[in-house]
Amino acid sequence: MSEAWHHFIAGDLVALLSCTLAVVTCGVLGSYLVLKRESLMGDAISHAVLPGLVVAFMISQSRAPVPMFIGAGIAAGLTVLLTMLVRRWGGVEPGAAMGVVFSVMFALGVYLIESEALRDIDLDASCVLYGQVEYLVWWDAPKDPSAYLKLATYTDTDIPPALWALGAIFVIAVAFVAAFFKELRITTFDPQMARAAGIPAWLVQGALVLLVALAVVASFQAIGSILVIAMLICPAATARMLTDRLGTQIMLAGLVAGLCAIAGYFAGAKLPTALGAEHALNIAGMITVVAGLVFGLVCFASPSHGFIARAVRQRRLAERIAIEDLLGLLYRSAEAGETFVPIQPMHAAGMPVARATKLGLVRAEASKLGLTDSGRERAEGLIRRHRLWEGYLVERAGLRPDHVHATAELLEHVDQPAAIPTQSGDLDPHGKAIPPGPETDAESP
């Protein structure tokens, strides 16, 4: 094995794997928190487990994973319970209730760390915030490549225990999501239906919260609470911007989290020194920055929910509405006996004459504008919807005939068949003929 590869395995591999396992676990579990609009719950748990960790350490005098997990689980359960009580008894909205609870719990944890009883103990709040990725080193990694094919290499060498803990939580979290995907989906989107179907929503969601707490605790030593909070939200929110399917979102969240971990690790640990800097950057902070940049890029460029896509859809919708308004105006003019209308006032009003002409919906003759055959067909559908809505608003909503035109002008642009009222006569409330349409209409809404 070359010296470079051995140096990477000994100095970087464990840290990189630990970061990747931690953030992928957080990304998968965080998908459900984002969908429930409880992203702050991950923030609350990641802060609120601190007093549980401290109390567990004070009782056991050890930082072993088992007592830490127990303390974190109790603190997480207490956080959820207190949040529910504050919401119910205090009458405050969920975000405020979680904010009150986690800030108090985190302050209590910091106070306990700084108290006299723990002042001389190696339990620093900054380690919880920023993690200790740089200390996850495999000091006695063998140089012989064949040694990595032997089980004893992994049992007898000094591999940091954080890697095993993060690997175990990753396997448990993925197995839980895969095994209870249906239950998690129904309890996330419709807990009342889940209870009606006999699914214990409180138990499923409670297990999810417990897994989030365990993932947070296992990640503290490696990546710190700041990165945990970011990874519970950013990858899931990024995936949500890219898809509307739950299964795809969960897989994308894990993929995005893993890629951010790899890119952030090398950007923090290797890039600064490669560019001539004396020191590397904080790895947990750099991974968080990369995740934020990816989320910002997806917010801007997502083909379904991004800023650009929304702007394009809104522009197309505005153009379609403007063209239909033009067609409606020409159709009404033709009904009044004026087949061609002077084009100049339409230009002055900002109507999309050029675009409608390019689409073959209107044609100009001697500075006047009229409908083509395809334009008349489309205009008939528009006017039909308009007059059907006027009739519906008068007959079914009880509005006066002189109060329905403005509302019908908005509703006429909705062309889905299921949203078109049923025709009940040949004339609208103003006595104008309703243009012919399909033989059968969709049911009235």
SS3 315: helix
What distance in Å separates the CA atoms of residue 94 and residue 38, rounded to the nearest whole number? 8
Q: Which CATH class is domain 3-301?
A: mainly alpha
User: Which pLDDT score, from 0 to 100, does residue 442 have?
Assistant: 45
Dihedral Cα 233, 238, 241, 243, nearest 10 deg: -100
165: tokens are 């803990």
> Are the C-beta atoms of residues 58 and 119 closer than 8 Å to each other?
no
What distance in Å separates the CA atoms of residue 191 and residue 284, rounded to the nearest whole number? 35
Q: How many CA atoms lie within 13 A of 192 on its CB side?
A: 0
User: Which pLDDT score, from 0 to 100, does residue 109 have?
Assistant: 82
User: Which pLDDT score, from 0 to 100, does residue 278 have?
Assistant: 76
What distance in Å separates the CA atoms of residue 375 and residue 55, rounded to the nearest whole number? 76
What distance in Å separates the CA atoms of residue 392 and residue 408, rounded to the nearest whole number? 10
Residue carrying the six token digits 């700041």:
226
137 torsion bin: left (phi>0), alpha (psi -120 to 50), beta (else): beta
Give per-10-residue mean pLDDT for the chain (445 aa): 73 86 93 85 75 84 74 79 79 78 84 67 59 74 76 75 87 94 91 87 83 80 79 93 93 95 90 80 88 95 91 93 93 89 84 90 89 93 93 91 91 88 84 76 44
> Are the C-beta atoms of residues 374 and 360 closer than 8 Å to each other?
yes
Q: Are strands 341-342 and 362-365 parallel, antiparallel or unpaired?
A: unpaired
Spatial CB neighbours of 335, under 8 Å, sequence gap ≥ 6: 432
Taking CA atoms, 323 is separated from 316, 320, 354, in Å, by 10, 5, 10
Q: How many CA atoms lie within 13 A of 109 on its CB side?
A: 30
SS3 427: strand
What distance in Å separates the CA atoms of residue 349 and residue 234, rounded to the nearest whole number? 45
User: Which pLDDT score, from 0 to 100, does residue 23 have?
Assistant: 93
What distance in Å separates the CA atoms of residue 180 and residue 38, rounded to the nearest whole number? 20
> Are the C-beta atoms of residues 435 and 386 closer than 8 Å to each other?
no
DSSP secondary structure, 325-374, as one string: HHHHHHHHHHHTT-SSEESHHHHHTT--HHHHHHTTSEEEETTEEEE-HH
Q: Which long-range contacts (CB under 8 A, 24 or more apart) does 201-204 make?
A: 204/180
Residue carrying the six token digits 């579990």:
29
Residue carrying the six token digits 């068949």:
417
Residue carrying the six token digits 């999309």:
352
What distance in Å separates the CA atoms of residue 343 and residue 171, rounded to the nearest whole number? 69
What distance in Å separates the CA atoms of residue 199 and residue 364, rounded to the nearest whole number? 66
Report domain extents, the chain: 3-301, 310-371
Q: Is the dihedral of CA 65, 70, 74, 77 positive or negative?
A: positive
Closest CA to 292 of 333, 264, 269, 313: 264
pTM metric for this prediction: 0.78
Q: How many CA atoms lie within 13 A of 161 on its CB side?
A: 6
What distance in Å separates the CA atoms of residue 35 and residue 188, rounded to the nearest whole number? 7
What distance in Å separates the CA atoms of residue 342 and residue 257, rounded to the nearest whole number? 60
Q: Please give the backbone phi and psi of residue 426, each rounded to the nearest 5 degrees, phi first.
A: -90, -15
What distance in Å separates the CA atoms of residue 304 and residue 312, rounded to the nearest whole number? 11
User: Which pLDDT score, from 0 to 100, does residue 116 have?
Assistant: 52
Spatial CB neighbours of 359, under 8 Å, sequence gap ≥ 6: 323
What distance in Å separates the CA atoms of residue 125 and residue 64, rounded to the nearest whole number? 17
372: tokens are 């083509």
> Are the C-beta atoms of residues 226 and 288 closer than 8 Å to each other?
yes
Burial class (CB in 10 A: 0-12, 13-18, 19+), 126: exposed
